[in-house]
Structure 1
């Protein structure tokens, strides 16, 4: 999951991306409308909290959360937006994008927690490995999870990895991290205009949505259709997030979004997203329109909400930015996504009735916080010390 931590940096007089700037006046932009996320956006961390809670409640089969799986769509839009914003910001500040550094940072941010989860999953495989079925042995399932190929196996070979099955979405994001940054850098080097980039992303969204609809095959029983895990569908919300970042990189769009338009976008996006969540019922897997229309539209609605949240202050952004809510999204949401199926697989049979569900949610929270501070925090501290040491060496 992409981080929302983007520190402010003073603009430098370097060659600029035509996709990352506007003409003339943008180089002298008013401080009132800086590029997006030059400071932390805690409301987006809060949105992560809401999204992961929806996913957990969906997997616990809580009534009225049959559409909670759309939380993954929200995460994808956030990733597309944040990563593209980060890349454009780096180019603006330094005149280039260091792809190697970008990939190493992504790997160090995400892989240690995944590795820890997989190791524990292997140790407990005899008790949890067949959670929702498993097509592979423990070692094979672990290999698929650690190589970020789960979405491909689930989409094209109709298989599942037991308690590691949910790592398909992490695979989709990692594949996005590999492909989109060099594509963006190449298009920038070719001086492709923003409007053509947006047009290309729009064509990609429409084409992938139509192909997802055409690829739909009715699943047996209550299984999830293979198309849901396909990179063809997964690229739709990611591309929508990329398009939002390119739009908000335009000074004129930021000026418009900083006013009434941003407030309308916030409330409209929130209302529609909650509406989708509550409207979807438990037969969502039986309709091709879910994958060709509903999920792509959910991505668009998520982008509208995100655009509003980063553009104006509102009661919605204030609630999402409330410290406990934003802290959980920033610090624990990735861990919660990784570990919640393992907790459900271990304890689900003991959870009876509403209070059993409450107990499971509490267990997920405890395990997620513990895992975050046992793995992610030490890794981040190590990375910080390494950066400080490198900086000290350069100044000597």
Structure 2
């Protein structure tokens, strides 16, 4: 995700920094995040989606691969908040309608394509990991972004569309957080209060998730895992990171040794936390009240390091094939891999069967991305260019007649 160059920031004269402003640093600070593309974050998306796929395939030593979803949530909170702050810094406002329309055009066509294919194949794949609904109801839940609510509050699942619960969580975040930020701008809320509020959400959500935990039967996933109470924790953690890095002093500090410590400490801790999760993770309240919130915090530390300093790790994640996959294919891979697993898993025997199944899932994801997402993006680009041409023509006529 990218933004245009952001205008120079202003210094508060009150000693208290409003949201969207910063205090000048003694030395030149790096520009705000996302004034240019961060390929390392695209590479991190690649790592996260591979973790999720290997978890769903029950690959040994990847029992904690589901934490890739937490990484995605933190990335979403960070990226969206950074973009909104950048827009406000540049234009003095946030256009909510434009934001929501862009999100819808970016995400919905691919989801719609998955649902259509899933319905066509429902007789073969619909009951993947159980289904509480028929195909029409399951499709409706997926397309209305309510899967997390049905899974957490009514203990139901949508078969091959069950994984869309995480998309629901993100879309609900997109609906709620930008208006909250607009309101805070209008009220000229102070940065310290917003940081404190987000911190309270993180801590409160973590505690509530632990208290709401109920031991499931067998290896079923507890309802609280899908709950907005827990889902908001990593999203708010990403928002918190974006607000911190919007401050010149923090960026200056992070551009030195602290950024390198965050990068390497973050990746090591993320690996340790993920590897420490066993196959009995559903049986412990601490998984939801401590481990997953901690995973979100560690992910934020890693992301902060990756966008602040150049390191061998950021270079590896920014390597073109790795970053390309994260940028272009990761969303499609998340959407389509459960359907591929449901369809082909009975034929994937042994380790080599898992290898070719992963390969097929990735090929399907690439094909779906270029069959659906790329044409939609090209169409959007043509519409934007046409509008600019019309606006330029009108401006030229107005200038000629004045």
1:346 is the counterpart of 2:350: no
1:370 equivalenced with 2:367 (yes/no): yes
Give me the TM-score of the superposition, normalised by structure 1.
0.96
Aligned to 1:307: 304
2:245 is the alignment partner of 1:234 = no
- Tell me how far apart the structure 2 counterparts of residues 162 and 392 of structure 1 sit (CA, whole Å): 47
**Residue among 48, 53, 59 paired with 1:51:** 48
Q: Number of aligned pairs? A: 390
Question: Conserved in 2, the CA contact under 8 Å of 1:29 and 1:251?
Answer: no
Note the 1:103-252 alignment, pairs <5 A.
103-252=100-249
The CA distance in 1 between the partners of 2:287 and 2:120, in whole Å, is 37
For structure 1, the residue ranges without an aligned partner over 5 or more in a row are none
Secondary structure of 2:385's aligned partner:
helix
Does residue 1:18 correspond to 2:44, yes or no? no
Residue equivalent to 2:396: none
- Equivalent-residue separation in structure 1 for 2:175 and 2:211 (angstroms): 27
Equivalent residue number for residue 330 of structure 1: 327
Matched residue, 1:262: 259
Flag the 1:199–1:10 CA change in 2: closer, same or farther, 3 A: closer
Q: Deviations over 1:142-164 (max 9, x none)?
A: 00000000000000000000000
CA distance in 1, matches of 2:252, 2:237: 21
Q: Could you tell me how far apart the structure 1 residues matched to 2:235 and 2:220 are?
A: 24
What is the CA distance between 1:8 and its match in structure 2?
A: 2.6
Distance in 2 separating the partners of 1:12 and 1:248: 13
Partner in structure 2 of residue 90 of structure 1: 87
- The Cα of 1:359 is off from its aligned counterpart by 0.6
Moved over 3 A (4+): 9-13
User: Cα RMSD over matched residues?
Assistant: 1.7
Contact preservation (8 Å) 2:6, 2:89: no
Q: Deviations over 1:10-42 (max 9, x none)?
A: 4499x9x9211113x37x983x51111110000
Stretches of structure 2 that go unaligned for 5 or more consecutive residues are 394-402
Question: How far apart, in 2, do the equivalents of 1:120 and 1:11 lie?
Answer: 48
Is 1:67 the counterpart of 2:90 in the alignment? no
2:398 corresponds to which residue? none
Answer whether contact 1:51 1:71 (CA < 8 A) is retained: yes
Given the alignment of the two structures, is residue 289 of structure 1 paired with residue 286 of structure 2, yes or no? Answer: yes
- Deviation at residue 141 of structure 1 after TM alignment: 0.1
* Partners of 1:7 and 1:40 within 8 A in 2: no
Q: Deviations over 1:281-334 (max 9, x none)?
A: 100000000000000000000000000000000001000000000000000000
Preserved CA contact (<8 Å) 1:155 1:229: yes
**Structure 2 SS opposite 1:130:** coil
Q: For residue 7 of structure 1, report the CA deviation from its aligned partner.
A: 3.3
What is the SS of the residue equivalent to 1:20? coil
Contact 2:152–2:226 (8 Å) recurs in 1: yes
Aligned equivalents of 1:257, 1:63: Cα separation in 2:
36
Gap change, CA 1:29 and 1:128, over 3 Å in 2: farther
